[in-house]
Chain A
Amino acid sequence: MKIKVLLGVAAIIVFTSLVFYNFGNSISTYVDFEGAQGMKGAHVVGTWDDTQEVYFNRETMQFSFWMTDETGNKRKILYPRPKPNNFEQATQIVVIGEYRGDTDVFVANDMLMKCPSKYNDPNAFEMQEASS
């Protein structure tokens, strides 16, 4: 009985540490463009810089634009899919990816768009009032 309990406890400890180790590796932290240097799958939060060139390459289906991160760094982003439909409206963009080689171009394998949800915007009513 004692041995069984010990074995059970040992198994739980081993399993738990394995899960936690794997969990720790599979999560990451949100960084800015400086912090993303040398990282794979870096999550960078920022906004679209609409003063810079926006370009879509119809041959390679690559979309590129400039993004300003939360600390003000600007980088060119390459996104290997057509421009998302709600791109212009996003209040916040999260790009997930890495720098291309040792350049300043950030390749976003994935891109999440945070859109202004009317349900979360306490000022929407006033805005709607003003514009109608």
Chain B
Amino acid sequence: MVTAAFASFQRPPLSKPVWTVSTKAFWGLQLASVLGASAVLLVLIANHQFQYYYVWNYTSLDLPMEYLLSAFYGGQEGSFLLWILMSSLLGLGLMAWTRAPYRWPVMSVMGFTQVFLLSMLLGWSFGDGVLLGASPFRTLLEEMPNAPFLQANPDFVPADGRGLNDLLKSPWMMIHPPALFIGFAMMTAPFAFAIASLWTRTYHEWVRPALPWTLSANVFLLTAIFLGGYWAYETLSFGGYWAWDPVENASLVPWLIGTAGIHTMIIQKKSSRAHSASLFFAIFAYVLIIYETFLTRSGVLANASVHSFVDLGLYNQLLAFMIAITALGFGFYFWRYRDLPKPKKESSLLSREVLTFTGSMLLLVLGLVIILGTSSPIIGRLFYDNPTPPDIQFYNDWSGPLALVMGVLTVIGQMVFWQRHSWVSLGTGLLLPTIATTVITAISAIMGQVNDRYSITFFWVGWFTVIGNGWVMGSLLIKKPALIGGTVTHIGFGVLLIGILASSKYSTFMVPPVTESFNARVAAGEAFDEDGFPITTQIESFELQRNQPKVIDQQYMVTYEGYELKDTPRPGTQVYTLTFQPLDGRESFTLSPEVYPMSSTAETDRVDWSVDPDILTGWMSDIYLFVGGSALVERRNEQIAAQATMNEAAMSRTVSGQGSGASSAGAQAASTDSIAVVSLLPNNPVQAGPYQFTFSGYEPAQGDEVPENTQVAIRANIQVTHMPTGRSYEVVPLFAVFIDEGENFTYSPSLRIKEWGLDVQFSSIVPNDESIEITVAGLNEFIEEDWIYLTVEKKPFVSAVWLGTFLLMGGFSISIFRHWARDTQAKRAKETSDSLPQPSVT
């Protein structure tokens, strides 16, 4: 059964539907085999058929069902299959809804791209290491024919697989890939319609069906970008939702170009202009998807990205795909370029055509700048032999100002879009929004203590975009609410601008007062390290002992309450409990960051630790924190290292138990009680609990710290060493004898070593043998030292980033329904009164 499905799958369905009649049959067959292949892969994964390389490599027995599903697209082959599945389904939709004259050219282009995609999964070998595609159904034997254990026993089936990457065990990562590949697949539609338009020389009509598809592709891409960003924010420890990583850029750039295309398509639809630009963007968006696929999957970016990609040896094939799509798209475009309709008269500068067009040009420029940065391993060779990725600053320096210009333009554009304006009437119309913006910016700048010019400008533009577009939306809501899609999108953009700047530039590390003053000195250039060199980096994290709270950010008293171990979904996960008590009396809350060993790399003698941050989400700001290190992690590492040494040593010789950790030191303790009396002879170290006490001599007690009528007052010099860590403290406890109403009393206040919670009291002097007795309390509390390094960040208005994104999605979705409805209306109109052009509704 498996082989049958496998075989049917391996035959690329020749779905070039030049014969219109058989298109449906071919596409149906193709879809059926892709569905079959997907089902087979899913069944293999669900039934743990580890003789298949893909199943063994990405899954394991302990994976819950939902992550077995994630594993389907956890690897390159499976994600290609998902992409193919999505574009097969899209083809079905295109077949159902596309009319003449576009149906067969559109389906031909779909078939063309589908053949390339399918070829990625063929897994045909032509000898000499020449491979065409990588099949998800290859067996272990096919994958590694030279492995000795497989040569010895070709039927060997591993008992368990290697499991899914722990970072991908997240609900967000379950839905991110499907959204992404729906977006990728849907972006084929505008490309196909553009080619169909050039093919059939019908340059006006194609945007009607293409626009809703482009809008939908954009919504799905945006959803995928959002899910990816949210996942990065709550799973990774870089503390943000966006890092300009090539993989992130790979979905952002096609989205930007798609958005540019949406703008020009709308002009074309409304004003019968910008045909060449619409065609260009429709083609370019898909070309970029293939280009970014090439960059991220061919191994070109292996050194530039935090994401590790498997190099499946598809470099040449991906390159061929990219060249073919580029040649087809732009070849057709330039071939027909002279034939494209040109506007007869120039539009005025203050027309909706010019402004919308400018918007799409800015999106194009932004996209090109990001492509340049992402392509650094290739384009950077112009400058260096072995180029590094660009500084994050490169992206920020260009995208920021461009976004500012865009923000202002959206408002003017929307004003002019719905109503004819002269410069004077526009100025009048903008007066109130401008005043409102300035007032609100001033208020928010004062409240948020924003005082640099760039930020104030940025926030002003953000607010202006929100208020200006809100203004337009208000008037549209009264007249025709169905038209608000564009304004909602643009408001979302403004909210996003505010959120991005606030959450990135005004994000602060919350640290205790000591660190705050240290950081102030670093900022002033007055902090020096032990060798006298200036310290230039501020301290971002702090140490927290169990049950010893610290005040951070002058706002919260944070207490480390302890840890718990749990085994689901990741075995050996350490859950740390941290309580935040706001100093202003608000209710306290608890955060539980985690540290876990990555099982995907687990071996007996080493562990890879990974952190899972926790976030308190709020409207005004988020508190984001993670545990960067802990006594527990260090103990585990020591244990693992000790085990490894012991395993080695067992065969040769016995080693002394040095450095084997707290447990063996504890075994030598003189007393198991928490309180112990230890007698000390001068310069003769004595152990108690995990500590060693050395009495080195007396010191005279001076001043008025002793009670009245004191006869004797003396201090003992005692060094206390914590054996497991080797750290020590000097204490000089006091011993005094005084007379009160004729009776002798001793006065011996105990001294506390805060870090260990250890109290040392000089309790008596033994007269006959020079020894002293001390009483120590808290011996057992710190046999197991328990501390963590905590990094806490306050990120204002991350909520605005999400809100902005949702508004963008919502705005696009409203537009989809509107344009879809209009498209079907137009079709019906066309069917009844064949040639009458649909008047555009404004």
Q: Mark A54-88, 1 if CB is under 8 A from B, else 0.
A: 00001011100000000000000000111111101
Q: Confirm or deny: B393 has a beta carbon within 8 angstroms of a beta carbon on chain A.
A: yes
CB–CB B539/A28 < 8 A: no
Q: Which of the residues A30, A41, A82, A84 comes within 8 Å of B386, measured between beta carbons?
A: A30
CB–CB B628/A82 < 8 A: yes
What residues of chain B lie closer than 8 Å to A105, measured between beta carbons? Answer: 531, 533
Q: Confirm or deny: A17 has a beta carbon within 8 angstroms of a beta carbon on chain B.
A: no
Q: Mark B603-615, 1 if CB is under 8 A from A, else 0.
A: 1111111110000
A60 to B515, CA, bound (A): 9
Q: Confirm or deny: A14 has a beta carbon within 8 angstroms of a beta carbon on chain B.
A: no
CB–CB B536/A107 < 8 A: yes
CB–CB B75/A119 < 8 A: yes
Q: Mark A85-106, 1 if CB is under 8 A from B, else 0.
A: 1101100000000001101010
A85 to B162, CA, bound (A): 22
CB–CB A23/B372 < 8 A: yes
List 10 A-B residue pairs with CB atoms under 8 Å apart, sorted by A's residue number: A23-B372, A29-B383, A29-B388, A89-B608, A107-B536, A109-B537, A115-B608, A118-B57, A120-B310, A132-B604
What residues of chain B lie closer than 8 Å to A89, measured between beta carbons? Answer: 601, 606-608
Q: Confirm or deny: B529 has a beta carbon within 8 angstroms of a beta carbon on chain A.
A: yes
Q: Confirm or deny: A27 has a beta carbon within 8 angstroms of a beta carbon on chain B.
A: yes
Known: A43-B388, A60-B539. A129 touches B149 (CB 8 A): yes
CB–CB B603/A128 < 8 A: yes
A30 to B399, CA, bound (A): 26
Q: Which of the residues B376, B543, B606 comes within 8 Å of A88, measured between beta carbons?
A: B606
Top 3 A-B residue pairs of the complex, sorted by shortest distance between their CB atoms: A85-B609, A29-B384, A26-B394
Q: Mark A14-46, 1 if CB is under 8 A from B, else 0.
A: 010001101110111110000000000101000
Q: Which residue of B lies closest to A80 (CB)?
A: B537
Q: Confirm or deny: A13 has a beta carbon within 8 angstroms of a beta carbon on chain B.
A: no
CB–CB B536/A81 < 8 A: no
CB–CB A28/B610 < 8 A: no
What residues of chain A lie closer than 8 Å to B390, measured between beta carbons? Answer: 23, 26-27
CB–CB B391/A26 < 8 A: yes
Please report A residues at the B interface, Cβ cutoff 8 Å: 15, 19-20, 22-24, 26-30, 41, 43, 58, 60-62, 80-86, 88-89, 100-101, 103, 105, 107, 109, 112, 115-120, 122, 124-129, 131-132
A119 to B789, CA, bound (A): 31
A90 to B235, CA, bound (A): 20
Known: A30-B386, A115-B601, A118-B600. A60 touches B535 (CB 8 A): yes
CB–CB B149/A82 < 8 A: no
What residues of chain A lie closer than 8 Å to B549, measured between beta carbons? Answer: none
CB–CB A100/B533 < 8 A: yes
A100 to B533, CA, bound (A): 7
Q: Mark B326-353, 1 if CB is under 8 A from A, else 0.
A: 0000000000000000000000000000
Q: Which residue of A lies closest to B306 (CB)?
A: A112
What residues of chain B lie closer than 8 Å to A129, measured between beta carbons? Answer: 149
Q: Which residue of B lies closest to A56 (CB)?
A: B629
Q: Confirm or deny: B387 has a beta carbon within 8 angstroms of a beta carbon on chain A.
A: yes
A109 to B390, CA, bound (A): 16
Known: A23-B379, A126-B149. 14 other contacts (CB 8 A): A23-B372, A23-B380, A24-B383, A26-B373, A26-B394, A27-B387, A30-B388, A85-B595, A85-B628, A86-B608, A88-B606, A120-B308, A120-B310, A127-B603
CB–CB A27/B397 < 8 A: no
What residues of chain B lie closer than 8 Å to A22, measured between beta carbons? Answer: 394, 397-398
Min distance, Cβ A62 to any Cβ of chain B, angstroms = 7
Q: Which residue of B lies closest to A89 (CB)?
A: B608
Min distance, Cβ A77 to any Cβ of chain B, angstroms = 13
What residues of chain A lie closer than 8 Å to B582, measured between beta carbons? Answer: none
A28 to B308, CA, bound (A): 22
What residues of chain B lie closer than 8 Å to A101, measured between beta carbons? Answer: 533
A95 to B306, CA, bound (A): 14
Q: Confirm or deny: B144 has a beta carbon within 8 angstroms of a beta carbon on chain A.
A: yes
CB–CB A81/B541 < 8 A: yes
What residues of chain A lie closer than 8 Å to B598, measured between beta carbons? Answer: 86
CB–CB A27/B376 < 8 A: yes
Most B Cβ at <10 Å: residue of A60, A62, A112: A60
What residues of chain B lie closer than 8 Å to A118, measured between beta carbons? Answer: 57, 162, 600-601
Known: A19-B398, A30-B388. A119 touches B611 (CB 8 A): no
A85 to B382, CA, bound (A): 37
CB–CB B57/A88 < 8 A: no
A128 to B543, CA, bound (A): 37
Known: A60-B539, A81-B541, A85-B595. A27 touches B608 (CB 8 A): no
What residues of chain B lie closer than 8 Å to A119, measured between beta carbons? Answer: 57, 75, 165, 308, 310
What residues of chain A lie closer than 8 Å to B148, measured between beta carbons? Answer: 126
What residues of chain A lie closer than 8 Å to B539, measured between beta carbons? Answer: 60-61, 80
CB–CB B147/A126 < 8 A: yes
A25 to B438, CA, bound (A): 36
Min distance, Cβ A119 to any Cβ of chain B, angstroms = 5
What residues of chain B lie closer than 8 Å to A100, measured between beta carbons? Answer: 533
A128 to B75, CA, bound (A): 20
Q: Confirm or deny: B669 has a beta carbon within 8 angstroms of a beta carbon on chain A.
A: no
Q: Using a CB-CB cutoff of 8 Å, which residues 477-496 of chain B contact chain A?
A: none
What residues of chain A lie closer than 8 Å to B633, measured between beta carbons? Answer: 85
A100 to B539, CA, bound (A): 18
Q: Confirm or deny: B642 has a beta carbon within 8 angstroms of a beta carbon on chain A.
A: no
What residues of chain A lie closer than 8 Å to B786, measured between beta carbons? Answer: none
Min distance, Cβ A83 to any Cβ of chain B, angstroms = 6
What residues of chain A lie closer than 8 Å to B540, measured between beta carbons? Answer: 61, 81
What residues of chain B lie closer than 8 Å to A28, measured between beta carbons? Answer: 384, 387-388
CB–CB B604/A131 < 8 A: yes
Q: Confirm or deny: B389 has a beta carbon within 8 angstroms of a beta carbon on chain A.
A: yes
Q: Which residue of A lies closest to B57 (CB)?
A: A119
Min distance, Cβ A120 to any Cβ of chain B, angstroms = 6
What residues of chain B lie closer than 8 Å to A82, measured between beta carbons? Answer: 541, 628-629, 789
Q: Using a CB-CB cutoff of 8 Å, which residues 358-392 of chain B contact chain A?
A: 365, 368-369, 372-373, 376, 379-380, 382-391
Most B Cβ at <10 Å: residue of A26, A41, A117, A122: A26
Q: Confirm or deny: B139 has a beta carbon within 8 angstroms of a beta carbon on chain A.
A: no
Q: Using a CB-CB cutoff of 8 Å, which residues 508-563 of chain B contact chain A?
A: 518, 529, 531, 533, 535-537, 539-543
A58 to B328, CA, bound (A): 61
Q: Which residue of A lies closest to B511 (CB)?
A: A61
CB–CB B162/A124 < 8 A: yes
A28 to B388, CA, bound (A): 5
Q: Which residue of A lies closest to B140 (CB)?
A: A125
What residues of chain A lie closer than 8 Å to B308, measured between beta carbons? Answer: 117, 119-120
Q: Confirm or deny: B637 has a beta carbon within 8 angstroms of a beta carbon on chain A.
A: yes
Q: Using a CB-CB cutoff of 8 Å, which residues 41-64 of chain B contact chain A?
A: 57
Most B Cβ at <10 Å: residue of A81, A112, A116, A125: A125
A77 to B604, CA, bound (A): 29
Known: A29-B386, A41-B391. A86 touches B149 (CB 8 A): no
What residues of chain A lie closer than 8 Å to B387, measured between beta carbons? Answer: 27-29
